[in-house]
Amino acid sequence: MQTSSLGAVGNVSRLTLGGGGIGQVWGATSREEALATVKASYAGGITLFDMAPLYGQGEAETVMGLAFADGYPDDVRVTTKCMVGGVAGELIEDKLIQSLNASCARLQRDYIDVFILHGYVIPDGWNEGVRPRAMPHIAVEWRNYQDHVVRVFEKLKQQGRIGAWGVTAASTQATNLGLLDDQKRPDIVQCIANLLDSPGNMAICTETANPRAVIRAAQTKGVGVMGIRAVAAGSLTTAIDREVKPGSAELIDFHRAWGVRAIAAELGVSMAFLAHQYALSMPGVDTVVLGVKNRDELHDCLAAADAEPLDEELIKRIDAAVKIA
């Protein structure tokens, strides 16, 4: 598999195995199949694994620890995350450190390559979110982010407990870009990278998402980009294989992409294959995080990574086929 430089992290595989699938966020799987998927990922050339405690209440991290119980190969890189939310600033350091300690125990590691703030950074006093009940749990205000989260991440780097730190850039666009303009900018960002430019149910505001501008800004600043939601939470597949609510963001995106499914059929490839190929072809995306939960889904993604990047004319056809919501 081809590699690329992920900012301060160095060279990693163009595909990253995400913990959502093996943690059963994207549908049911067994621990046995999850273990086999991790091992098949590494055998297929994947060297970056993106974990978090929230993926199956620690299940994804536990699976990783079991998969590499005899020791991690030298080329494997592992991320984990912490959802800080709206806790008081003076409590943030303890929360981050306790979360890191628990993740390391499950992963059977004493060092994490990238520690990522799970959730969103929002402006101070911002109350315009479309998910008001969730905001106290998933969002950190800007001042707490600067004064506490960044300070602790930098401290953990100096202590040698982590190699780099990152954030998810899926907040308001001004905040996303502000994270990259900050003097203490992250080493990596996780950013929406799909042919719809859709955050789906990750959206916290009503403004139209523009993740490509965030990716360009990160590239300019030397910040590594991990592309997430390549198949838009299952919307860019042949069929969503889990129950979703009528009128959900997933179903809206699924219907927006009907024209692209016709192109995939014409090319003789699956929709998931084409969606991953598109994400891998996006300028500035260093690695694409997979949400696969079994080896069959993984096989499609590995094949997409082995294929040539999409040519400009096909990308234009795909872009033109997307239905505007």
pLDDT per residue over 68-127, tens digit each?
999 999 999 999 999 999 999 999 999 999 999 999 999 999 999 999 999 999 999 999
Residue 11: pLDDT over 70 = yes
CB 103 within 8 A of CB 177: no
The burial of 27, by beta-carbon neighbours within 10 Å (0-12 exposed, 13-18 middle, 19 or more buried), is given as middle
Weakest-pLDDT range from 45-59, 126-140, 174-188, 238-252: 238-252
Give the model confidence (pLDDT) of 240-288 as tens digits. Answer: 877 788 889 999 999 999 999 999 999 999 999 999 999 999 999 999 9
Indicate the average pLDDT of the chain: 95
Residue 325: band (very low, low, confident or very high) from pLDDT cuts 50, 70, 90: low
Residues of the chain above pLDDT 70, percent: 99
198-245 confidence digits (pLDDT tens): 999 999 999 999 999 999 999 999 999 999 999 998 999 998 877 788
pLDDT at 243: 79
* Cβ density class 89-103: b for 16+ within 10 Å, e for less: eeebeebbeebbeeb
Give, in order, the Cα–Cα distances in Å from 121 to each of 151, 179, 199, 249, 303: 15, 9, 15, 22, 35
No. of helices (H) and no. of strands (E), the chain: 14, 12
Side-chain half-sphere CA neighbours of 142 within 13 A: 16
The CA radius of gyration of the chain, in Å to the nearest whole number, is 19
Domain count, the chain: 1
Q: Point out which residues pair with 225 in neighbouring strands.
A: 189
H or E segment and range at residue 83 = strand 77-83
Q: Which domain holds residue 281?
A: 3-321
- pLDDT for the residue numbered 211: 98
Share of the chain above pLDDT 90, in %: 93
**pLDDT recorded at residue 25:** 86
Listed residue (153, 175, 161, 51) closest to 92, CA to CA: 153
Q: What is the CATH number of the domain that holds 28?
A: 3.20.20.100
Q: Which amino acid is at 304?
A: A
Tell which residue, 203, 202, 199, has the closest CA to residue 212.
199
